[in-house]
Structure 1
Amino acid sequence: MSHPKIDYRDLIPNDPAMIVEIVRQAEERFKMQVQFALASDARAGAMATWTSAMAGGFVIAAMGTLSGGAKVGALAAGLTFGLAAFCSIWAARPISFGCIGTLPNGWVDVVRDNEKLNESLAGYAAHLDGHLLANEDRMKLNGSWTRGAMWCMFMSPFVSLAAALLFA
């Protein structure tokens, strides 16, 4: 998703306390994003483990003594849970994630140019804004994969039953 890049000059306030508050709030939002991302990763990881086990169990059952519609139904459930496992594994994969702070070498030009603190904080706030928006886009995409996994888990009994009845 594309977001307009903020011009740091639009963040240079008349009151120096305002840019400090803008940066503080952006850093607080980062903390919240990290909490949400960690919870999402934990959820996706748990789902990946559970759905992989279910997929394997159904496929093993289908390859065992089952026959006819029961065999096809178990295979259908295994494939549906396998798809859920793929979606949740993809949602749990490592992604790049913007963070607060900067490297000291990012301030060299600011110091050399004798930039005012308001201006450098405004530039930092614009930097944070770009990372915050990119993080939100990444989290939305991973959330879509997690919802896809949940949808597959929900549909698995119905797909299994339909396959079993069709091939009984």
Structure 2
Amino acid sequence: MTRDQLMNASDGVMAIVVMQGEKRLEGQCAFAEVQDARGGALVGASVSLSAAAVAVAVGGAQLVGLGGPVSVGAVIATLGFSLSALLALWSGRACNFHAPGWYPNDFKDDIATGRTVRDLEVDFALDLQHRLSQNRTALIRRGDLYNWATYCLLGTPIAALVAGLLAA
């Protein structure tokens, strides 16, 4: 929507536009919290599996040397699980993500210039759209990183098994 379209909207329509934008922004924030929780769980699982793989690699190296199939598979597992943890951790970054609301100080210039409530509502609706668009991009990026972390977690045992078999 453009500024002119919003300026021509009735008060009732403006109220709906702003209310729906705020609801969507709150929904995005709730979704980001869920992404954070899932990412944290994946980081924990990946780090635990990586630590276990390190233990197996050390044990395998002690028993059969560094070139043994167990050691090779465990090293690949350590790298894969560590990469999964890194991707999951990176997916939790909240850059370019906006929360609902504004600081009271954000209205200082509007008050000083005597802007009308209508002007503020229009600016509010336009800024909501901007925030929602940036949040959407951030949520998609975070979801993609989480997906890659999951693929890495799930693919690591297969890669470790193949590496171990090739080393045998």
**TM-score normalised to the size of structure 1?**
0.88
Q: Contact 1:8/1:125 (CA < 8 Å) preserved in 2?
A: no
The residue matched to 1:12 in structure 2 has which SS?
Answer: helix
Once the two structures are overlaid, the 10-residue window that deviates more, 24-33 or 101-110, is 101-110
Kept after mapping to 2: 8 A contact 1:19/1:118: no
Shift of 1:125: 0.7
Letter in 1 for 2:10: D
Aligned residue in 2 for 1:22? 17
Please list the CA deviations of residues 87-146 of structure 1 after superposition, one character each: whole Å capped at 9, or x if unmatched: 011112343521222222332333344433222201111111111111111111111110
Distance 1:149 1:7 in 2: 39
2:26 — aligned with what? Answer: 31
Residues 105 and 119 of structure 1, relative CA distance in 2, 3 Å threshold = same
- Is the Cα contact below 8 Å between 1:9 and 1:119 reproduced in 2? no
Segments of 5+ residues of structure 2 without an aligned counterpart are none
Q: Which runs of 4+ in 1 moved over 4 A?
A: none
Percent of counterpart pairs with the same letter? 28
Give the direction of change, closer, same or farther, for the CA distance of 1:104–1:93 in structure 2 (3 Å limit).
Answer: closer
The reply on whether 1:45 has 2:40 as its aligned counterpart is yes
In 2, Cα distance between equivalents of 1:84 and 1:124: 40
SS state at 1:64 partner: helix
Task: For residue 97 of structure 2, give the secondary structure of its aligned residue in structure 1.
Answer: coil
In structure 2, the partner of 1:3 is none
Say if 2:52 is the partner of 1:62. no
| Structure 1: 5+ residue stretches without partners | 1-5
CA offset at residue 157 of structure 1?
Answer: 1.6
CA distance in 1, matches of 2:23, 2:165: 54
- The TM-score normalised by the length of structure 2 is 0.88
User: What is the aligned length?
Assistant: 163
* In 1, Cα distance between equivalents of 2:81 and 2:46: 5
Letter of the structure 2 residue corresponding to residue 122 of structure 1: V
Spell out, residue by residue over 1:77-96, the C-alpha distance to the aligned partner (whole angstroms, 9 max, x if none).
11111110110111123435
1:97 maps to 97
Q: Which has the higher helix share?
A: 2
Hey, what does 1:110 align to over in structure 2?
110
CA distance in 1, matches of 2:4, 2:115: 13
Preserved contact between residue 63 and residue 71 of structure 1 (Cα < 8 Å)? yes
